[in-house]
Structure 1
């Protein structure tokens, strides 16, 4: 039980990567608090975790851009459990559909994307830090994007916000390291989550897109799953990572560190000198 007696708040925890992380944390002994705008989904997840013998709560509908929502969840968590050991900032997203390059960027979408991804990461951190500082212990996990510094497509507002989250992570890690609070950031590759439903509906077209994307760009040649992300969250939240802070971890089947064989000329069938 890697997280026995630990208390974790997970923003955006009602679905996708947050949901998988909440389930994994609960299975490892953590008391999990779901903070999500989707209160119905959060309630359903709490019921599912409880039915399997875990401990989970959700207190209110949480908009991570609203400090009062977050403070209510933090206060209720401390009242029920007396501590907050872990914060996982899964809440995020973008606005404007496929727009976001220099020709079609809408500044209203820019502002909303920055508010959700950057402010929506900082606000929960500021809400939990007083408790973590009091205990001289904490684990904070933020989320970036591959495109923040290694652009595979152009989404200026989203990638700029995630780049700022990386800067925020490194600065907080530096500030908080002497206080026993570790701060790290995960940079996911292509992960199969409900995020994609806003871009491509479930069906043959999306399946074909996933197959082609992973074969071309992912060294492991498969799409990632929410559990792939949850496993790294578990590592960064447990004693296994006691000496790890200020780090960015790519979780993309090798993306961000190495190239896919199908994305480099030397390793593909196009190179007749190698593949005679």
Structure 2
């Protein structure tokens, strides 16, 4: 099966979408109850292609494409171990630190004249946000946003006096919205404050509470290899600093897809009641 990301409509995060789709495909196929068990191999490459006319007919109809990228993706798929997502270095450079990757070294692939640097995508990384994922070191000096910066600092000064403030930053991608908020956090780093950061995701439009779920997972310090019991322990430590009732703790555990191991009260069986309470 061949899937295109970036055609017929391009997105700034097509490489991320491709890797997330590959990982999700591996996870979903593994859940299928088949005998023998199905295995999935995914190869992802990024580059230029020429899209031609429609070929084939019926359900098999598709656009003809010409270029090295589809061939490279097919070779990477052949290189992949069962249930593995293998990506080219051209794709990796577009991902920042959004994923945990395994370096597979340089590989000689059939039909490719030079060796190719290859990576295996293991899982999404536990990064706070996209800005941090693409700026893990020092960022360049901020130029030309003095007015906006002063506005944020004035709002911060009012908030410190007890007068609640809200600021909305909007603009096209790449204009520096995240950079501006990062600069504000840097400017007030030595002042007492509590920070709650929530992030939406175009891949999670079906989950209205995804920003809250992600923030709680980061606040509790969940790791991908934690057991359900270890995650519940971390959640308890986090909530021990608050006045959260045992019943509300059970709701939060359910929101984080954690099983109730008996430490919390049993929730009402009516989904509507649980949804309303949540």
Question: Shorter-chain TM-score: which interval?
Answer: under 0.3
TM-score (norm 1): 0.26
Q: In terms of Rg, which structure is larger?
A: 2
TM-score (norm 2): 0.26
Which is richer in helix? 1
